[in-house]
Structure 1
Protein backbone atom coordinates (compact mmCIF):
# COMPACT_ATOMS: atom_id res chain seq x y z
CA UNK A 1 0.00 0.00 0.00
CA UNK A 2 1.38 3.42 -0.91
CA UNK A 3 2.03 6.08 1.69
CA UNK A 4 -0.66 8.21 0.04
CA UNK A 5 -3.26 5.48 0.51
CA UNK A 6 -2.22 5.01 4.14
CA UNK A 7 -2.60 8.72 4.78
CA UNK A 8 -6.02 8.68 3.11
CA UNK A 9 -7.25 5.85 5.30
CA UNK A 10 -5.89 7.48 8.44
CA UNK A 11 -7.62 10.74 7.49
CA UNK A 12 -10.93 8.91 6.94
CA UNK A 13 -10.66 7.22 10.35
CA UNK A 14 -9.80 10.55 11.98
CA UNK A 15 -12.87 12.21 10.43
CA UNK A 16 -15.09 9.36 11.55
CA UNK A 17 -13.71 9.51 15.08
CA UNK A 18 -14.17 13.28 15.24
CA UNK A 19 -17.78 13.08 14.10
CA UNK A 20 -18.58 10.37 16.66
CA UNK A 21 -17.00 12.39 19.48
CA UNK A 22 -19.00 15.44 18.41
CA UNK A 23 -22.19 13.39 18.54
CA UNK A 24 -21.36 12.01 21.98
CA UNK A 25 -20.81 15.54 23.31
CA UNK A 26 -24.06 16.78 21.76
CA UNK A 27 -26.01 13.87 23.20
CA UNK A 28 -24.52 14.51 26.66
CA UNK A 29 -25.55 18.18 26.47
CA UNK A 30 -29.04 17.20 25.34
CA UNK A 31 -29.47 14.79 28.25
CA UNK A 32 -28.29 17.42 30.71
CA UNK A 33 -30.88 19.87 29.35
CA UNK A 34 -33.59 17.23 29.52
CA UNK A 35 -32.81 16.48 33.18
CA UNK A 36 -32.85 20.18 34.02
CA UNK A 37 -36.13 20.71 32.25
CA UNK A 38 -37.61 17.70 34.04
CA UNK A 39 -36.79 19.23 37.44
CA UNK A 40 -38.53 22.45 36.48
CA UNK A 41 -41.51 20.59 35.07
CA UNK A 42 -42.06 18.71 38.33
CA UNK A 43 -43.14 21.95 39.99
CA UNK A 44 -45.70 22.66 37.31
CA UNK A 45 -46.91 19.10 37.36
CA UNK A 46 -47.52 19.19 41.09
CA UNK A 47 -49.64 22.32 40.67
CA UNK A 48 -51.94 20.91 38.01
CA UNK A 49 -52.17 17.22 38.87
CA UNK A 50 -55.27 17.72 40.99
CA UNK A 51 -57.06 19.54 38.16
CA UNK A 52 -56.14 16.77 35.71
CA UNK A 53 -57.45 14.10 38.06
CA UNK A 54 -60.69 15.97 38.66
CA UNK A 55 -61.42 16.44 34.97
CA UNK A 56 -60.30 13.07 33.65
CA UNK A 57 -62.89 10.39 33.11
CA UNK A 58 -60.39 7.55 32.58
CA UNK A 59 -56.98 6.29 33.64
CA UNK A 60 -55.32 6.09 30.22
CA UNK A 61 -51.57 6.48 29.99
CA UNK A 62 -51.83 9.46 27.63
CA UNK A 63 -49.70 7.87 24.90
CA UNK A 64 -48.40 10.66 22.67
CA UNK A 65 -46.87 8.47 19.98
CA UNK A 66 -47.81 9.33 16.42
CA UNK A 67 -49.66 6.07 15.91
CA UNK A 68 -49.43 2.29 16.15
CA UNK A 69 -46.03 0.69 15.72
CA UNK A 70 -45.98 -0.75 12.20
CA UNK A 71 -42.81 -2.67 11.42
CA UNK A 72 -41.87 -2.84 7.74
CA UNK A 73 -42.24 -6.18 5.98
CA UNK A 74 -39.30 -8.44 6.70
CA UNK A 75 -38.15 -6.57 9.81
CA UNK A 76 -36.16 -8.81 12.15
CA UNK A 77 -34.63 -8.98 15.61
CA UNK A 78 -36.08 -8.10 19.00
CA UNK A 79 -39.49 -6.45 18.52
CA UNK A 80 -38.80 -6.44 14.76
CA UNK A 81 -36.65 -3.31 15.07
CA UNK A 82 -33.96 -4.29 12.53
CA UNK A 83 -33.99 -4.31 8.75
CA UNK A 84 -31.93 -7.30 7.56
CA UNK A 85 -29.75 -7.24 4.46
CA UNK A 86 -28.21 -10.54 3.43
CA UNK A 87 -29.00 -14.20 3.93
CA UNK A 88 -30.63 -15.66 7.03
CA UNK A 89 -28.12 -18.52 6.83
CA UNK A 90 -25.09 -16.25 7.28
CA UNK A 91 -22.85 -17.36 10.15
CA UNK A 92 -22.15 -13.81 11.34
CA UNK A 93 -24.39 -10.86 12.13
CA UNK A 94 -23.33 -7.23 11.79
CA UNK A 95 -25.62 -4.89 13.69
CA UNK A 96 -25.42 -1.25 12.61
CA UNK A 97 -27.13 1.60 14.46
CA UNK A 98 -27.31 4.60 12.16
CA UNK A 99 -28.99 7.93 11.45
CA UNK A 100 -29.49 9.25 7.91
CA UNK A 101 -28.60 12.81 9.06
CA UNK A 102 -25.38 11.65 10.71
CA UNK A 103 -22.16 12.75 8.93
CA UNK A 104 -20.14 9.99 10.64
CA UNK A 105 -22.62 7.45 9.30
CA UNK A 106 -22.09 8.80 5.80
CA UNK A 107 -18.33 8.56 6.27
CA UNK A 108 -18.68 4.97 7.45
CA UNK A 109 -20.92 4.07 4.51
CA UNK A 110 -18.60 5.72 2.01
CA UNK A 111 -15.57 3.81 3.27
CA UNK A 112 -17.19 0.46 4.07
CA UNK A 113 -20.03 0.12 1.55
CA UNK A 114 -18.13 -2.10 -0.87
CA UNK A 115 -17.08 -4.60 1.80
CA UNK A 116 -20.53 -4.54 3.43
CA UNK A 117 -22.17 -5.39 0.11
CA UNK A 118 -19.59 -8.12 -0.49
CA UNK A 119 -20.12 -9.70 2.94
CA UNK A 120 -23.90 -9.64 2.57
CA UNK A 121 -23.99 -10.89 -1.02
CA UNK A 122 -21.53 -13.72 -0.35
CA UNK A 123 -23.55 -14.97 2.62
CA UNK A 124 -20.70 -14.38 5.07
CA UNK A 125 -22.67 -11.89 7.15
CA UNK A 126 -26.19 -10.62 7.51
CA UNK A 127 -26.36 -6.91 8.24
CA UNK A 128 -29.12 -5.71 10.55
CA UNK A 129 -29.75 -1.98 10.26
CA UNK A 130 -31.35 -0.02 13.10
CA UNK A 131 -32.59 3.43 12.07
CA UNK A 132 -32.54 6.05 14.83
CA UNK A 133 -33.19 9.77 15.31
CA UNK A 134 -30.12 10.91 17.25
CA UNK A 135 -29.50 14.05 15.19
CA UNK A 136 -33.14 15.14 15.43
CA UNK A 137 -32.73 14.97 19.21
CA UNK A 138 -29.42 16.83 19.24
CA UNK A 139 -30.10 19.54 16.66
CA UNK A 140 -33.89 19.61 16.35
CA UNK A 141 -35.88 18.91 13.24
CA UNK A 142 -37.41 15.72 11.87
CA UNK A 143 -35.10 14.70 9.03
CA UNK A 144 -33.82 11.59 10.80
CA UNK A 145 -37.37 10.44 11.49
CA UNK A 146 -38.71 11.22 8.04
CA UNK A 147 -35.76 9.53 6.30
CA UNK A 148 -36.03 6.52 8.60
CA UNK A 149 -39.70 6.16 7.75
CA UNK A 150 -38.99 6.51 4.03
CA UNK A 151 -36.28 3.84 4.23
CA UNK A 152 -38.76 1.54 5.98
CA UNK A 153 -41.20 2.24 3.14
CA UNK A 154 -38.47 1.24 0.69
CA UNK A 155 -38.04 -1.99 2.67
CA UNK A 156 -41.75 -2.65 2.11
CA UNK A 157 -41.04 -2.37 -1.63
CA UNK A 158 -38.02 -4.70 -1.43
CA UNK A 159 -35.60 -1.88 -2.28
CA UNK A 160 -34.16 -0.91 1.10
CA UNK A 161 -30.45 -1.27 0.34
CA UNK A 162 -30.53 0.71 -2.88
CA UNK A 163 -32.50 3.55 -1.28
CA UNK A 164 -30.36 3.39 1.86
CA UNK A 165 -27.28 4.02 -0.29
CA UNK A 166 -28.98 6.84 -2.21
CA UNK A 167 -29.86 8.64 1.05
CA UNK A 168 -26.22 8.63 2.15
CA UNK A 169 -24.93 9.61 -1.27
CA UNK A 170 -27.19 12.67 -1.17
CA UNK A 171 -27.01 13.47 2.54
CA UNK A 172 -27.38 17.22 3.25
CA UNK A 173 -25.24 19.10 5.74
CA UNK A 174 -25.93 18.03 9.31
CA UNK A 175 -27.56 21.37 10.15
CA UNK A 176 -29.68 21.34 6.98
CA UNK A 177 -32.87 19.46 7.81
CA UNK A 178 -33.64 18.82 4.13
CA UNK A 179 -34.79 15.26 4.81
CA UNK A 180 -37.67 16.66 6.86
CA UNK A 181 -39.41 17.22 3.51
CA UNK A 182 -41.23 14.17 2.22
CA UNK A 183 -41.04 15.63 -1.27
CA UNK A 184 -37.23 15.51 -1.10
CA UNK A 185 -37.27 11.89 0.03
CA UNK A 186 -39.67 10.94 -2.76
CA UNK A 187 -37.53 12.83 -5.29
CA UNK A 188 -34.46 10.84 -4.23
CA UNK A 189 -36.46 7.62 -4.45
CA UNK A 190 -36.63 8.32 -8.17
CA UNK A 191 -32.97 7.30 -8.33
CA UNK A 192 -34.00 3.72 -7.46
CA UNK A 193 -35.63 1.88 -10.33
CA UNK A 194 -39.27 1.11 -9.65
CA UNK A 195 -39.39 2.49 -6.11
CA UNK A 196 -41.68 5.47 -6.67
CA UNK A 197 -45.20 4.07 -6.69
CA UNK A 198 -48.47 5.25 -5.22
CA UNK A 199 -47.96 2.79 -2.36
CA UNK A 200 -44.47 4.08 -1.56
CA UNK A 201 -45.53 7.72 -1.83
CA UNK A 202 -48.49 7.19 0.50
CA UNK A 203 -46.28 5.32 2.97
CA UNK A 204 -43.82 8.25 3.06
CA UNK A 205 -46.47 10.97 3.28
CA UNK A 206 -48.55 9.12 5.88
CA UNK A 207 -45.58 8.40 8.15
CA UNK A 208 -46.62 4.76 8.26
CA UNK A 209 -43.48 3.66 10.12
CA UNK A 210 -42.85 6.78 12.23
CA UNK A 211 -43.68 5.06 15.53
CA UNK A 212 -41.49 2.11 14.54
CA UNK A 213 -38.51 4.44 14.02
CA UNK A 214 -39.26 6.14 17.35
CA UNK A 215 -39.41 2.76 19.09
CA UNK A 216 -36.06 1.84 17.56
CA UNK A 217 -34.52 5.02 18.95
CA UNK A 218 -35.99 4.21 22.38
CA UNK A 219 -34.20 0.85 22.18
CA UNK A 220 -31.00 2.70 21.23
CA UNK A 221 -31.33 4.82 24.38
CA UNK A 222 -32.29 1.90 26.62
CA UNK A 223 -29.17 0.02 25.54
CA UNK A 224 -27.12 3.15 26.35
CA UNK A 225 -25.58 3.38 22.91
CA UNK A 226 -24.01 6.82 22.71
CA UNK A 227 -23.16 7.43 19.06
CA UNK A 228 -23.91 6.61 15.47
CA UNK A 229 -22.68 4.68 13.70
CA UNK A 230 -22.28 1.88 16.21
CA UNK A 231 -21.23 -1.41 14.62
CA UNK A 232 -21.54 -4.71 16.46
CA UNK A 233 -20.21 -8.06 15.21
CA UNK A 234 -21.85 -11.08 16.83
CA UNK A 235 -22.51 -9.12 20.01
CA UNK A 236 -19.11 -7.38 20.21
CA UNK A 237 -18.96 -3.62 19.55
CA UNK A 238 -16.18 -2.80 17.11
CA UNK A 239 -13.72 0.05 17.62
CA UNK A 240 -14.24 2.23 14.56
CA UNK A 241 -11.15 4.28 15.43
CA UNK A 242 -8.90 1.35 14.53
CA UNK A 243 -11.12 -0.60 12.15
CA UNK A 244 -10.53 -0.70 8.40
CA UNK A 245 -12.57 -2.35 5.63
CA UNK A 246 -9.93 -5.09 5.34
CA UNK A 247 -9.96 -5.70 9.09
CA UNK A 248 -13.75 -5.86 9.12
CA UNK A 249 -13.76 -8.45 6.33
CA UNK A 250 -11.08 -10.45 8.14
CA UNK A 251 -12.95 -10.42 11.44
CA UNK A 252 -16.19 -11.54 9.80
CA UNK A 253 -14.43 -14.35 7.95
CA UNK A 254 -12.66 -15.53 11.12
CA UNK A 255 -15.94 -15.49 13.05
CA UNK A 256 -17.54 -17.65 10.35
CA UNK A 257 -14.96 -20.43 10.64
Structure 2
Protein backbone atom coordinates (compact mmCIF):
# COMPACT_ATOMS: atom_id res chain seq x y z
CA UNK A 1 0.00 0.00 0.00
CA UNK A 2 2.79 2.32 0.90
CA UNK A 3 4.49 1.68 -2.42
CA UNK A 4 1.27 2.39 -4.28
CA UNK A 5 0.88 5.68 -2.48
CA UNK A 6 4.47 6.57 -3.26
CA UNK A 7 3.95 5.84 -6.94
CA UNK A 8 0.76 7.93 -6.99
CA UNK A 9 2.51 10.79 -5.24
CA UNK A 10 5.45 10.60 -7.65
CA UNK A 11 3.01 10.60 -10.59
CA UNK A 12 1.35 13.75 -9.27
CA UNK A 13 4.71 15.46 -8.88
CA UNK A 14 5.69 14.56 -12.45
CA UNK A 15 2.33 15.74 -13.80
CA UNK A 16 2.64 18.99 -11.88
CA UNK A 17 6.14 19.54 -13.27
CA UNK A 18 4.96 18.81 -16.81
CA UNK A 19 2.04 21.21 -16.43
CA UNK A 20 4.35 23.87 -15.08
CA UNK A 21 6.72 23.34 -18.01
CA UNK A 22 3.82 23.65 -20.48
CA UNK A 23 2.72 26.90 -18.85
CA UNK A 24 6.29 28.19 -19.00
CA UNK A 25 6.54 27.29 -22.69
CA UNK A 26 3.24 29.01 -23.48
CA UNK A 27 4.28 32.10 -21.55
CA UNK A 28 7.67 32.18 -23.26
CA UNK A 29 6.23 31.93 -26.74
CA UNK A 30 3.49 34.42 -25.91
CA UNK A 31 6.18 36.86 -24.79
CA UNK A 32 8.24 36.18 -27.90
CA UNK A 33 5.13 36.71 -30.01
CA UNK A 34 4.33 40.01 -28.34
CA UNK A 35 7.91 41.23 -28.76
CA UNK A 36 7.88 40.16 -32.41
CA UNK A 37 4.63 42.02 -33.00
CA UNK A 38 6.04 45.13 -31.35
CA UNK A 39 9.24 44.92 -33.39
CA UNK A 40 7.30 44.43 -36.61
CA UNK A 41 4.98 47.31 -35.70
CA UNK A 42 7.99 49.48 -34.99
CA UNK A 43 9.60 48.57 -38.29
CA UNK A 44 6.36 49.24 -40.13
CA UNK A 45 6.00 52.59 -38.36
CA UNK A 46 9.58 53.52 -39.21
CA UNK A 47 9.06 52.42 -42.78
CA UNK A 48 5.90 54.48 -43.12
CA UNK A 49 7.59 57.55 -41.62
CA UNK A 50 10.62 57.13 -43.85
CA UNK A 51 8.37 56.59 -46.83
CA UNK A 52 6.38 59.70 -46.02
CA UNK A 53 9.55 61.78 -45.80
CA UNK A 54 10.79 60.29 -49.08
CA UNK A 55 7.43 60.99 -50.71
CA UNK A 56 7.50 64.56 -49.40
CA UNK A 57 11.03 65.12 -50.64
CA UNK A 58 10.17 63.62 -54.04
CA UNK A 59 6.96 65.56 -54.60
CA UNK A 60 7.30 68.86 -56.47
CA UNK A 61 5.68 71.51 -54.31
CA UNK A 62 5.99 75.05 -55.68
CA UNK A 63 5.86 77.87 -53.11
CA UNK A 64 2.72 79.95 -53.72
CA UNK A 65 4.66 83.24 -53.84
CA UNK A 66 7.20 82.03 -56.43
CA UNK A 67 7.32 83.96 -59.71
CA UNK A 68 8.97 83.48 -63.11
CA UNK A 69 7.57 80.02 -63.74
CA UNK A 70 7.84 79.20 -60.05
CA UNK A 71 11.62 79.70 -59.92
CA UNK A 72 12.13 82.96 -58.04
CA UNK A 73 10.96 85.32 -55.31
CA UNK A 74 10.31 88.95 -56.19
CA UNK A 75 11.24 92.06 -54.27
CA UNK A 76 10.34 95.58 -55.33
CA UNK A 77 8.01 96.89 -58.00
CA UNK A 78 10.20 98.89 -60.39
CA UNK A 79 10.07 98.70 -64.19
CA UNK A 80 13.51 97.09 -64.69
CA UNK A 81 13.95 93.44 -63.74
CA UNK A 82 17.11 92.17 -62.09
CA UNK A 83 17.48 88.40 -61.92
CA UNK A 84 19.96 87.04 -59.39
CA UNK A 85 20.87 83.35 -59.39
CA UNK A 86 22.59 82.40 -56.14
CA UNK A 87 23.66 79.35 -54.17
CA UNK A 88 23.71 79.76 -50.39
CA UNK A 89 26.95 77.76 -50.19
CA UNK A 90 28.70 79.94 -52.77
CA UNK A 91 31.30 82.28 -51.21
CA UNK A 92 31.33 84.52 -54.30
CA UNK A 93 27.56 84.96 -53.89
CA UNK A 94 28.19 86.01 -50.31
CA UNK A 95 30.75 88.54 -51.53
CA UNK A 96 28.28 89.83 -54.13
CA UNK A 97 25.66 90.34 -51.42
CA UNK A 98 28.13 92.25 -49.25
CA UNK A 99 29.39 94.52 -52.01
CA UNK A 100 26.39 94.92 -54.32
CA UNK A 101 23.48 94.03 -52.03
CA UNK A 102 23.19 97.59 -50.64
CA UNK A 103 23.02 98.97 -54.21
CA UNK A 104 20.27 96.49 -55.06
CA UNK A 105 18.35 97.65 -51.99
CA UNK A 106 18.76 101.30 -52.98
CA UNK A 107 17.41 100.56 -56.45
CA UNK A 108 14.45 98.68 -54.93
CA UNK A 109 13.71 101.51 -52.51
CA UNK A 110 13.87 104.03 -55.37
CA UNK A 111 11.25 101.91 -57.18
CA UNK A 112 13.56 101.50 -60.16
CA UNK A 113 13.77 97.72 -60.17
CA UNK A 114 12.03 94.48 -59.40
CA UNK A 115 14.53 91.92 -58.17
CA UNK A 116 13.91 88.21 -58.71
CA UNK A 117 16.02 86.01 -56.48
CA UNK A 118 16.59 82.48 -57.78
CA UNK A 119 17.97 80.19 -55.04
CA UNK A 120 19.62 77.29 -56.87
CA UNK A 121 21.68 74.30 -55.76
CA UNK A 122 24.82 73.69 -57.79
CA UNK A 123 27.26 73.23 -54.92
CA UNK A 124 25.91 70.17 -53.11
CA UNK A 125 29.30 68.62 -53.79
CA UNK A 126 30.84 71.34 -51.60
CA UNK A 127 29.16 69.97 -48.47
CA UNK A 128 28.60 66.55 -47.01
CA UNK A 129 24.86 67.04 -46.46
CA UNK A 130 23.62 68.57 -49.74
CA UNK A 131 23.51 71.91 -48.01
CA UNK A 132 22.81 73.88 -51.19
CA UNK A 133 19.60 71.94 -51.77
CA UNK A 134 18.56 72.03 -48.12
CA UNK A 135 19.15 75.77 -47.75
CA UNK A 136 17.35 76.57 -51.01
CA UNK A 137 14.42 74.49 -49.79
CA UNK A 138 14.46 76.28 -46.44
CA UNK A 139 14.43 79.65 -48.24
CA UNK A 140 11.38 78.50 -50.19
CA UNK A 141 9.72 77.59 -46.89
CA UNK A 142 10.61 81.05 -45.56
CA UNK A 143 8.86 82.63 -48.55
CA UNK A 144 5.63 80.92 -47.51
CA UNK A 145 5.93 82.71 -44.19
CA UNK A 146 6.52 86.04 -45.98
CA UNK A 147 10.17 86.21 -44.92
CA UNK A 148 12.16 85.19 -47.98
CA UNK A 149 14.42 88.23 -48.17
CA UNK A 150 15.06 88.33 -44.42
CA UNK A 151 15.92 84.64 -44.46
CA UNK A 152 18.06 85.10 -47.58
CA UNK A 153 20.07 87.70 -45.69
CA UNK A 154 20.52 85.63 -42.53
CA UNK A 155 21.59 82.57 -44.53
CA UNK A 156 24.41 84.51 -46.16
CA UNK A 157 25.36 86.10 -42.83
CA UNK A 158 25.75 82.57 -41.42
CA UNK A 159 27.21 80.92 -44.52
CA UNK A 160 29.18 77.74 -43.71
CA UNK A 161 32.57 77.05 -45.24
CA UNK A 162 32.80 75.12 -48.48
CA UNK A 163 33.62 71.49 -47.84
CA UNK A 164 31.90 71.48 -44.46
CA UNK A 165 28.69 69.70 -43.54
CA UNK A 166 26.85 73.00 -43.75
CA UNK A 167 24.23 74.11 -41.27
CA UNK A 168 22.03 71.31 -39.97
CA UNK A 169 18.24 71.46 -40.07
CA UNK A 170 18.03 72.56 -36.44
CA UNK A 171 20.22 75.58 -37.23
CA UNK A 172 18.22 76.42 -40.35
CA UNK A 173 15.09 76.40 -38.19
CA UNK A 174 16.79 78.51 -35.52
CA UNK A 175 17.77 81.11 -38.14
CA UNK A 176 14.16 81.13 -39.29
CA UNK A 177 13.01 81.92 -35.77
CA UNK A 178 15.50 84.80 -35.67
CA UNK A 179 13.64 86.52 -38.54
CA UNK A 180 10.16 85.78 -37.24
CA UNK A 181 9.42 82.31 -38.65
CA UNK A 182 8.23 80.91 -35.36
CA UNK A 183 5.29 78.76 -36.46
CA UNK A 184 5.45 75.00 -36.81
CA UNK A 185 4.84 75.16 -40.57
CA UNK A 186 8.33 76.44 -41.32
CA UNK A 187 10.05 73.87 -39.10
CA UNK A 188 7.92 71.08 -40.54
CA UNK A 189 8.82 72.13 -44.09
CA UNK A 190 12.54 72.13 -43.29
CA UNK A 191 12.47 68.82 -41.42
CA UNK A 192 10.15 67.20 -43.95
CA UNK A 193 12.12 68.38 -47.01
CA UNK A 194 8.95 69.87 -48.48
CA UNK A 195 10.83 71.91 -51.09
CA UNK A 196 13.69 69.56 -51.94
CA UNK A 197 12.19 68.59 -55.29
CA UNK A 198 11.49 72.27 -55.99
CA UNK A 199 15.14 73.16 -55.38
CA UNK A 200 16.18 70.49 -57.86
CA UNK A 201 13.61 71.67 -60.39
CA UNK A 202 14.61 75.34 -60.29
CA UNK A 203 18.28 74.37 -60.59
CA UNK A 204 17.48 72.34 -63.71
CA UNK A 205 15.49 75.24 -65.15
CA UNK A 206 18.37 77.65 -64.45
CA UNK A 207 20.74 75.32 -66.27
CA UNK A 208 18.34 75.15 -69.22
CA UNK A 209 18.40 78.96 -69.29
CA UNK A 210 22.18 78.95 -69.64
CA UNK A 211 23.13 79.61 -66.02
CA UNK A 212 26.45 77.84 -65.45
CA UNK A 213 27.65 79.43 -62.22
CA UNK A 214 26.75 81.64 -59.31
CA UNK A 215 26.22 84.44 -58.86
CA UNK A 216 24.66 85.06 -62.26
CA UNK A 217 23.09 88.51 -62.51
CA UNK A 218 20.94 89.74 -65.38
CA UNK A 219 19.53 93.23 -65.82
CA UNK A 220 16.60 93.42 -68.23
CA UNK A 221 17.59 89.98 -69.48
CA UNK A 222 21.25 90.86 -70.14
CA UNK A 223 23.97 89.17 -68.14
CA UNK A 224 26.47 91.32 -66.28
CA UNK A 225 29.98 89.94 -66.55
CA UNK A 226 31.06 91.88 -63.47
CA UNK A 227 28.02 92.64 -61.27
CA UNK A 228 29.64 95.45 -59.33
CA UNK A 229 27.56 98.25 -57.79
CA UNK A 230 28.63 100.58 -60.60
CA UNK A 231 27.79 98.05 -63.30
CA UNK A 232 24.38 97.37 -61.76
CA UNK A 233 23.49 101.05 -61.57
CA UNK A 234 24.66 101.71 -65.12
CA UNK A 235 22.77 98.73 -66.53
CA UNK A 236 19.54 99.77 -64.77
CA UNK A 237 19.89 103.32 -66.09
CA UNK A 238 20.58 102.01 -69.59
CA UNK A 239 17.43 99.91 -69.38
CA UNK A 240 15.44 103.11 -68.90
CA UNK A 241 14.87 103.36 -65.16
Matches within 5 A, 1:1-257: 66-78=57-69, 80-87=70-77, 90-137=78-125, 141-179=129-167, 181-192=168-179, 194-240=180-226, 243-257=227-241
- Quick check: which has more Rg, 1 or 2? 2
**TM-score relative to the length of structure 1:** 0.68
- Unpaired runs of at least 5, structure 2: 1-54
Contact 1:178 1:184 survives alignment (8 Å) = no
Equivalent position SS for 2:57: coil
Check 1:169–1:138 CA distance in 2 against 1; reply closer, same or farther (3 A cut).
Answer: closer
Contact 2:128 2:163 survives alignment (8 Å) = no
Distance 1:202 1:220 in 2: 27
Equivalent position SS for 1:166: helix
- Unpaired runs of at least 5, structure 1: 1-63
Distance 2:63 2:109 in 1: 21
Contact 1:136 1:143 survives alignment (8 Å) = yes
The CA deviation at 1:138 is: 5.6
Contact 2:56 2:194 survives alignment (8 Å) = no
Contact 1:124 1:256 survives alignment (8 Å) = no
